[in-house]
Structure 1
Amino acid sequence: MPGPVRSVSQAFAILRLLSSHPAGLTLSAIARELGLSPSSCLNLLRTLVAEGMAERGGAEKLYRAAAAWDRLDFARGAVEQVIARVMPAMRAFAQDHEATVGLWYAVSNARLELVALAESGAATSIHMVVGQRQPIGGGATGRALAASEGLSVADLRRRYDAVRWATPLTFADYARQVERAATAGYAFDNGFGHAGICSFGAKLGGTGPARFCLSASVFAGSLSEAGIVRVGEALASLAASA
């Protein structure tokens, strides 16, 4: 019978070590403690950061276990509960508005993950895949989440800079769209995240510190200005009540 995969075992060893040192550790300290070469340790840490299980920051650039790792069992259970609660309403919304509706969860301070999807059943629809991830500041969901968090200009700028925009968007316009989302209760992306796609985003209400967002995506040009407001307000209402 095959033994454990060495790199996977090493990654878990790093996470256990970081969990026991909440103040954080340097790359050299982690490598020394676990008997890893600095290059191998760096590659493992980069993967853990990309997957949202570890974080690197502060003046000393220390590595720490991410909250997503410390709360993994609780978080996954919470995600399943939220999916079960909102999926019927997501399916109804997708049918009523001929939209692709997604439920997104902030798996880290850098990434959103699509954890559930409802489609309208139309012959032509927007395709997304459960499990796909995007920068936390991207799309309408990113603006909606930022609007709910009251970020500083510097933090908002960092989220904006991490996104590859399909259509050029200045930071000033991005910040104004976040402000509008805070007032309207929903955010709107008109092809900036994905060319030819208009998307709406609204933070799910009643989830406490956990960060869930609903998205609704339609083809660009398929809605009038009044239709955009109607869909946006409907999504905001669904997110607040769900």
Structure 2
Amino acid sequence: MTTKKNIAASESVGTRASVARRSADRVPGGRGATSAVTVKPVANAIRILRYLTHTGAPERAADIARHLSINPSTCFNILRTLVAEDVVDFNALSKTYSAGLGLARLVEQLVTQGQRLQLAAPLMQDLAAEFGVTVTLWRRLGADRIVLVSSESSPTDLHIDMPAGQRLPILMGASGRLFAARLGLTDEQLREEFEQLRWARPISLEAYVREVNRARRRGWASDDGYFATGVMAIAAAVCDKSDNIAFTVSTVMIRGDRGEAQVDALGEAVRDLAHRLESVLF
């Protein structure tokens, strides 16, 4: 860790959409007929999605309606529906709309893991900005390691910077407590693994197990300066479709900077973020 402003720590616009319908009936003269029907609300919804995707910036409903020549009331109602379906995001503070991550789920099978990590970044950035923390994403690497694959810092002057690529023992830190609760280790196996860990400040196996059990109950874990001096971490599991921990998402902050109620609120927010990341990463 360095005492600088950054503190390093080891933890698409279309104009028309149509719905084609082929009739099984015959028209007079014995010829088959195909009729094309344009459902205007559907067409407008697709135009809105294409517009938001191409602009790449949040827009007010009135501006979207003007750009696309859609009735303002109709545009507003379509946007509300798209938000409810999770394909458009709404910012209540700025009253703006932007393309939502739900769009990604429509083409989930076409997205590579690297692209999935890029889709996870905005969610991590939002949490980092809201709570003034650094948000990290760790991927399980084999049977005994995790590797940092993504990190998003808060926009504040003072924050903890964590470079991607670093690796840790699977039972280390807040993430380690999550794995310890799910790996099915016997007491003796856990003791053997625990004795190989090197902590920044002492923690007994008994205290570690209590924190593992607590993490199991509440769905998130914490490490209060045991992994890195002066740093507190809060983590939650990101599970794959088989309910195995594939990633953990963690927040790191200056130790002692928040009260118990604030820590609990952050823990719940991290747990909620982990659930949202599951829909993006898997």
Q: TM-score range by the shorter chain?
A: 0.5 to 0.7
Partners of 1:155 and 1:94 lie apart in 2 by 36
1:24-43 map, 5 Å: none
Q: What CA deviation, in whole Å up to 9, does each residue of 1:127-176 have, x standing for no partner?
A: 21100111111110111122233332233223322321001000011111
Task: Name 1:106's counterpart in structure 2.
Answer: 140
2:262 equivalent among 227, 232, 236: 227
Partners of 1:139 and 1:78 lie apart in 2 by 29
- Segments of 5+ residues of structure 2 without an aligned counterpart are 1-110, 278-282
Task: Name 1:117's counterpart in structure 2.
Answer: 151
2:221 equivalent among 187, 199, 205: 187
Closer/same/farther in 2, CA of residues 155 and 80 from structure 1, 3 Å limit: farther
Secondary structure of 1:109's match? coil
1:167 paired to 2:209: no
Task: Name 1:136's counterpart in structure 2.
Answer: 170
Identity fraction in percent: 33
* Amino acid in structure 1 at the alignment position of 2:259: S
Count of matched residue positions in the alignment of Structure 1 and Structure 2? 166
Partners of 1:132 and 1:175 lie apart in 2 by 25
Task: Name 1:211's counterpart in structure 2.
Answer: 246
Q: What CA deviation, in whole Å up to 9, does each residue of 1:93-134 have, x standing for no partner?
A: 000111111000111212110000111021111121100111
More helix as a share of residues: 1
* Amino acid in structure 1 at the alignment position of 2:127: F
Shift of 1:78: 6.4
More strand as a share of residues: 2
Between stretches 117-126 and 207-216, larger displacement belongs to 207-216
- Segments of 5+ residues of structure 1 without an aligned counterpart are 1-76
TM-score in terms of structure 2 length: 0.56
The answer as to whether partners of 2:173 and 2:227 remain within 8 angstroms in 1 is yes
Partners of 2:209 and 2:251 lie apart in 1 by 21
Shift of 1:79: 4.4
The answer as to whether partners of 2:238 and 2:245 remain within 8 angstroms in 1 is no
Between stretches 210-219 and 149-158, larger displacement belongs to 149-158
Closer/same/farther in 2, CA of residues 223 and 193 from structure 1, 3 Å limit: same
Partners of 1:148 and 1:82 lie apart in 2 by 25
TM-score in terms of structure 1 length: 0.64
* Amino acid in structure 1 at the alignment position of 2:250: S
Task: Name 2:127's counterpart in structure 1.
Answer: 93
* Amino acid in structure 2 at the alignment position of 1:146: A
Partners of 1:95 and 1:165 lie apart in 2 by 29
Partners of 2:251 and 2:164 lie apart in 1 by 14
The answer as to whether partners of 2:237 and 2:245 remain within 8 angstroms in 1 is no
Partners of 1:189 and 1:82 lie apart in 2 by 28
